[in-house]
Structure 1
């Protein structure tokens, strides 16, 4: 399906509009359902056509799926009999409409609307389960078990794990690895080996069609990899990743969501970009090798890899970040060193405790 959510607007400028059948296609308040013109809307309320004729039902369903594929939030108080059960359940789940925009930092209206949009996209963009090699370097054996457990939760993909032990011995993680249901390949590297080189040594063991980078201390929703594969497919991208949008600030016990850069410039999802969250980079294994792998350096590995990808002429697409939460403690604990005050400055939303998107399914 050529229709994509590229250009999705997080914050609508207008309310709901009426989606109705206009003889041979859907219309919005009497006008053709043109996707760019629909972006500012909160969503579309469906008025069902009399589609007892099978051909008409098929045509109407195709039109709804095109809108869902574009990320347009759709809703209805009931579903027509010819609507498949999974789509009907989403269309009639109107919980997201119960949140009104109030301008506060705790407002959930935009988030719940986007979650609804993403669930619709997943139905409209079915993607065959890809073979993905997950590459992760860790110097913290105590985090490996939890990271592997999140990898095991991944749905609609066939995954293997490539584990680079950075200054840690396999014996320290043996129990976690042997209890993991996924196939795990591992390498040991001295602590003095640059981070990027450890990733490359692990990635050399890959047998999947795609390579996905994973950070040991972050949280990933169960559809994280499947959503990346979906975005790669509908965008026809070479490299895909998510926004770095949700952060859990451990010392403050707070979750923030950012939708702008520190400069104030917008930080949208579903766009072509030179920036994606480093812990979410995914691309075909062939393209990874063509780029030359990760730069064998200790810091800014993700940034330099994306720069190298651009120099190689790759197309980088940034999809939604609702299935990913970055953990931030004191700056010295991370290769991406920014003070906690920075994250508070860029926060569009802020909540007490661990409050990820519902798409994380309580990761």
Structure 2
């Protein structure tokens, strides 16, 4: 029997049961039209009411790959959100009723069976298999038992805790490992399951989907809320709608309601309805994340220390500031990077500040992004799952060799200082001394004073070009990535840490900064150059910010030229079909000394001012650019 046959039989059994109940129970009978309409919409999506989206959003093309761990084969039953987020983490096999034995067996047994508390798992094929009796539930249990017999570890993840703990508890008992989003439920699972194979697995973000890459016109809209209004339950959530959502009505609020034009129990009050711009499938919602300056969030669960909306992780990863109603889980996960509001007045003030001040908005968004990428990606979550089932995997190689050509012996301390100051841990300094030599023992000693390993030293004759010096450094490097860094620029603490992560969420061959600050020492002025080039694919990035895989740098090589080696290298990358990505503007300053003689790009300060730049401020630049 195929999965389609099983599904049809299950639907027929359910319909028969509902009709019988309606014949004897007036409440069921009165609710029958609504249930019938809901079932028709589920089975035949074309019959759903058409909601015209009353705003413009860019398209979002789902990445096709690759998988972070292609060697790990995971058989899964997941809801659509989790299935999409996790498919980039392993070789994912979405099981179907009636076909799972063949799927599990070919080409080899999976490394684990991972099942979440899904109401309609794997496109609805396992609908209610975890919460209601019937043939489909019996088949799910048979699947879990078969996996255990084959030696395949089984993991159940209850993302519906705490409110639906009891509904999924019986199903959880079948599995080897049980994970939950709510730390407060761990003692309950240990008591009710009679074992200690339980653990915490919160939501997270998927870099391939949840990232700050801008499309089309960027963040052209003001503020948005995506979610459902409940008229009959979740009173705390309704209270947060009044304190968090209502104040945004005067700030260009757009509401995306998942229940637009459907069940009246989930319709927003009349005063909100002019702000309801439609409903969005999840794939389009991903585009909305980076189309707004601010997103709003309300919570149905407020007391759990670890259960919060997955959207908080996703929006933070996308560098979209969030104003949220209170929940105990927000501060432990996000610190002060999410604005928590307990009243309408607090929301009004927060909206005014975030919408009015781009500088404040961008800084808090970057810190939220960094926090999620540090600790709360699905890469981290999957590593925890795999460790539990005996399949620990190596971490992602993000080692960087900083190649710094210099013709100025007096810049050594500055170079050692900015390398030692980086928060990124896997850094190797490759110092190419152009036309002079440093004593290796002295350099090593000065590096040791700063907590650094001894730099790799390469001497280049003064007759060599800058391009040749770069190639010497690349050949001597051992890191996965090459960072081209200049000896006189400012590189703040999180410069490399933030920049290397762009390789996780873009398709770029080179990442860097085209939007960047430039400090003119002659006047003390600092310019913001190319401000519209943040978080976008571009043609060029500032030469002192280039980060490129070492194998690419070895293959393409820098041209044997005294200057413009950055531009010619990027030209070759793009000619070969590679993309160049410009990240945020922070944590870097291109420093222009009083005389341009020490620079390979001969351009005057006045020419810089006349080009695409904004005079940002006067004075020390380091403090301003550091985030």
What residue in structure 2 maps to residue 237 of structure 1? 508
The 3-state SS of whatever aligns with 1:170 is coil
Kept in 2: contact 1:129–1:156 (CA 8 A): no
Higher Rg: 2
> How far 1:234 moved relative to its partner?
1.0
Matched, 1:30 2:278: no
Matches within 5 A, 1:38-77: 39=290, 41-46=292-297, 48-51=298-301, 58=307, 60-76=308-324
1:80 maps onto 2:313 in alignment: no
Tell me, what secondary structure is at the counterpart of 1:204?
A: helix
Equivalent residues in 2 for 1:4-19, closer than 5 Å: 4-7=211-214, 13=220, 15-18=222-225
Corresponding residue for residue 350 of structure 1: 616
Aligned to 2:370: 122
Displacement of 1:332 in angstroms is 2.7
Query: In structure 2, what is the equivalent of residue 248 of structure 1?
Result: 519
User: Equivalent residue of 1:90, what SS?
Assistant: coil
Give the Cα–Cα distance (whole angstroms) in 1 for the partners of residues 596 and 351 of structure 2.
Answer: 36
State whether residues 132 and 157 of structure 1, in contact with CA within 8 Å, keep that contact through their aligned partners in structure 2: no
Aligned length: 343
Instruction: Name the CA shift for 1:114/1:82 in 2 (closer, same or farther; >3 Å).
Output: same
> 2:402 is matched with which residue?
134
Q: Structure 1's 224 and 280: CA in aligned 2 closer, same or farther, altered over 3 A?
A: same
The answer for unaligned runs of 5 or more in structure 1 is 102-108, 261-266
Evaluate the alpha carbon distance shift between residue 185 and residue 95 of structure 1 in structure 2; reply closer, same or farther with a 3 A threshold: farther
- Name the SS for the 1:351 alignment partner: strand
TM-score by length of 2: 0.50
In structure 2, the CA distance between the partners of 1:8 and 1:117, relative to structure 1 (3 Å rule), is farther
Which structure has the highest helix share of the two?
2
**1:170-229 deviation line (CA, Å, top 9, x unaligned):** 139736445443230101112111111112112211111111111101001111111111
Distance in 2 (CA, whole Å) between partners of 1:100 and 1:316 is 30
Within 5 Å, give how 1:265-276 maps onto structure 2.
Answer: 267-276=532-541
Aligned counterparts of 1:347 and 1:178: Cα–Cα separation in 2: 40
Greater alpha carbon shift after TM alignment, 109-118 vs 204-213: 109-118
Q: What's the TM-score once normalised by structure 1's chain length?
A: 0.82
Displacement of 1:335: 0.8
| Residue 157 (structure 1) aligned with residue 408 (structure 2) | no
Q: What is the CA deviation profile of residues 88-134 of structure 1, one whole-angstrom value per residue up to 9, with x for unaligned ones?
A: 42113899964885xxxxxxx32222112211222233485721111
Shift of 1:40: 5.1
Shift of the alpha carbon at 1:160?
0.7
Shift of 1:163: 0.4
Aligned equivalent of 2:451, options 174, 181, 188: 181
Change (3 A) 1:296 1:66: same
Return the alpha-carbon distance in structure 1 between the equivalents of residues 602 and 350 of structure 2: 38
Q: Partners in 2 of 1:170 and 1:80 — Cα distance?
A: 57
Q: What are the superposed Cα offsets for residues 268-297 of structure 1, whole Å, 9 maximum, x if unpaired?
A: 211112211111111221222222x22121
- 218-227 vs 163-172, which moves further: 163-172
Query: In the superposition, relative to structure 1, how do residues 16 and 340 fare at CA in structure 2: closer, same or farther (>3 Å)?
Result: same
Partner of 1:251, secondary structure, is coil
In 1, the alpha carbon distance for the partners of 2:524 and 2:255 equals 49
